């Protein structure tokens, strides 16, 4: 029996989808088993876990140590991390060790020769989608609360740029601590004269922002970035009820619908089955297409993955990479949804 391909799974999350209690290995295996059955993989794949609680609740050092363990464990490929701040930490490490890595964070800056990127949201693209939505619903003056972090500041930059194009005015902006538990002052600072309010960040501060907006009696449009995905936790959904947010799955995606039928009782609500399956396909196809069983070979194999129908995004979204192309999702991969009475409704 030949030695299996070893693929590291770098987990930088504390809780929730992809966290220690919910590693995505189960659905990563599904595309691997498909290619094994088809004879396109000549050996099994062993997933090697490494956990380090990363930013903002943990440290960059913990992520660095977890990645170093995978380097030493002779893996050919790494999946992770999930948080944009930690993708920025790992990107130079992937380059230094020449180890192909696919992060599933939101920052396009988490890309390089060896760092590939399966977008779960986008610090850059989401803000354009949000600005265009606000323009469509007639908003003109937008108050923005954003995390004081690389994530929040990047979102704000691109929201401002698109607002300038569309004739929107950011009437007030306020930074907030990533782990803040009260946002009364920040929300109060941005609502004066605003006809819409936006929160941009990782989402730990989203509940206090939403509570402060509700307490103010503000009745205009309320929008947040993909941190609204945290609403798949019922208590979170209750707090952000009525907020529009950016999601990664569409009810009309035929690839996702077929996957859900296959999963049956293993299916679960929300976006997680979509990105896990898409990640598994990138892993399996990258290994199958590698011209040699080396880290450089796997990098070349990932570059050869083209035009796979993605489970994420609107129907027709495509999955793949290319020479100097490290963003996996192509097309309309961001989906606007709204939380209504604990249910995510596509707009």
The answer on pLDDT for 23 being more than 70 is no
Per-residue confidence band for 24, with pLDDT thresholds at 50, 70 and 90? low
Go through the chain and tell me how many residues it has.
347
Query: Cα–Cα distance between 74 and 92 in angstroms, integer?
Result: 18
Query: pLDDT tens for residues 201-247?
Result: 999 999 999 999 999 999 999 999 999 999 999 999 999 999 999 99
Tokens of 190: 């941005």
- What per-residue confidence (pLDDT) applies to 21? 44
- What per-residue confidence (pLDDT) applies to 18? 39
Q: Is the pTM of this model over 0.85?
A: yes
Per-residue confidence band for 1, with pLDDT thresholds at 50, 70 and 90? confident
Backbone angles phi and psi of 221, in degrees to 5: -60, 140
Nearest to 248 by CA among 329, 159, 185, 137: 329
Provide the CA 178 distance to its chain's centre, in angstroms: 17
| Cβ atoms of 20 and 13 closer than 8 Å | yes
Query: Cα–Cα distance between 73 and 56 in angstroms, integer?
Result: 26
Mean pLDDT (the chain, rounded): 95
Query: Cα–Cα distance between 146 and 190 in angstroms, integer?
Result: 11
The answer on pLDDT for 109 being more than 90 is yes
What is the H or E stretch that residue 247 is in?
A: strand 244-247
Average pLDDT over residues 286-295: 98
- What is the dihedral sign for C-alpha 251, 256, 262, 268? negative
What is the H or E stretch that residue 300 is in?
A: helix 295-303
Least confidently predicted of 16-20, 55-59, 166-170, 294-298: 16-20
| Cβ atoms of 44 and 4 closer than 8 Å | yes
Residue reference for tokens 């196809």? 285
Residue reference for tokens 């380090």? 52
The answer on pLDDT for 163 being more than 90 is yes
- What per-residue confidence (pLDDT) applies to 232? 94
The answer on pLDDT for 165 being more than 90 is yes
Tokens of 42: 């000549």
319, 325, 331, 332: CA torsion to nearest 10? 90
Tokens of 194: 């605003």
- What per-residue confidence (pLDDT) applies to 15? 57
Which domains are assigned to the chain?
A: 5-121+251-333 (3.40.50.2300), 125-247 (3.40.50.2300)
Query: Cα–Cα distance between 179 and 320 in angstroms, integer?
Result: 35
- How many other CB atoms sit within 10 Å of the CB of residue 227? 27
The answer on pLDDT for 26 being more than 80 is no
Query: pLDDT tens for residues 58-94?
Result: 999 999 999 999 999 999 999 999 999 999 999 999 9
Query: Cα–Cα distance between 308 and 316 in angstroms, integer?
Result: 10
Average pLDDT over residues 86-104: 97
DSSP 130: H
Average pLDDT over residues 316-320: 98
| Cβ atoms of 52 and 82 closer than 8 Å | no
Query: Cα–Cα distance between 117 and 246 in angstroms, integer?
Result: 18
The answer on pLDDT for 19 being more than 60 is no
């Amino acid at each position: 029996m030949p030695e299996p391909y070893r693929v590291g799974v770098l987990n930088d999350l504390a809780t929730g989808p992809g966290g220690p209690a919910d590693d995505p290995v189960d659905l990563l295996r599904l595309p691997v088993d498909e290619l094994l059955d088809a004879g396109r993989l000549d050996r099994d794949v062993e997933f090697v876990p490494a956990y380090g609680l990363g930013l903002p609740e943990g440290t960059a050092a913990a992520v660095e140590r977890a990645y170093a363990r995978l380097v030493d464990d002779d893996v050919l490929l790494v999946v992770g991390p999930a948080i944009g701040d930690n993708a920025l930490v790992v990107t130079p490490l992937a380059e230094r060790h020449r180890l192909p890595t696919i992060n599933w964070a939101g920052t396009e800056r988490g890309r390089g020769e060896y760092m590939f990127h399966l977008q779960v949201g986008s610090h850059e693209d989401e803000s354009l989608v949000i600005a265009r939505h606000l323009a469509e619903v007639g908003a003109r003056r937008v108050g923005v609360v954003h995390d004081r972090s690389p994530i929040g500041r990047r979102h704000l930059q691109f929201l401002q740029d698109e607002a300038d194009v569309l004739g929107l005015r950011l009437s007030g902006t306020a930074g907030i601590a990533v782990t803040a538990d009260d946002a009364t002052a920040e929300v109060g600072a941005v609502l004066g004269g605003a006809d819409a309010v936006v929160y941009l960040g990782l989402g730990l501060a989203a509940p206090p922002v939403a509570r402060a907006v509700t307490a103010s009696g503000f009745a205009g449009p309320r929008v947040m970035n993909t941190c609204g995905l945290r609403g798949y936790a019922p208590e979170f959904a209750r707090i952000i009820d009525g907020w529009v947010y950016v999601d990664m799955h569409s009810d009309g995606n035929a690839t996702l619908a077929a996957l859900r039928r296959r999963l049956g009782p293993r299916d679960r609500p929300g976006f997680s089955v979509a990105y896990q399956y898409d990640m598994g396909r990138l892993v399996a196809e990258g290994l199958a297409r590698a011209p040699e069983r080396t880290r450089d070979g796997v990098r070349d194999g990932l570059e050869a993955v083209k035009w796979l129908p993605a489970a994420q995004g609107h129907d027709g979204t495509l999955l793949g990479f290319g020479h100097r192309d490290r963003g996996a999702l192509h097309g309309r991969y961001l989906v606007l949804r709204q939380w209504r009475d604990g249910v995510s409704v596509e707009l």
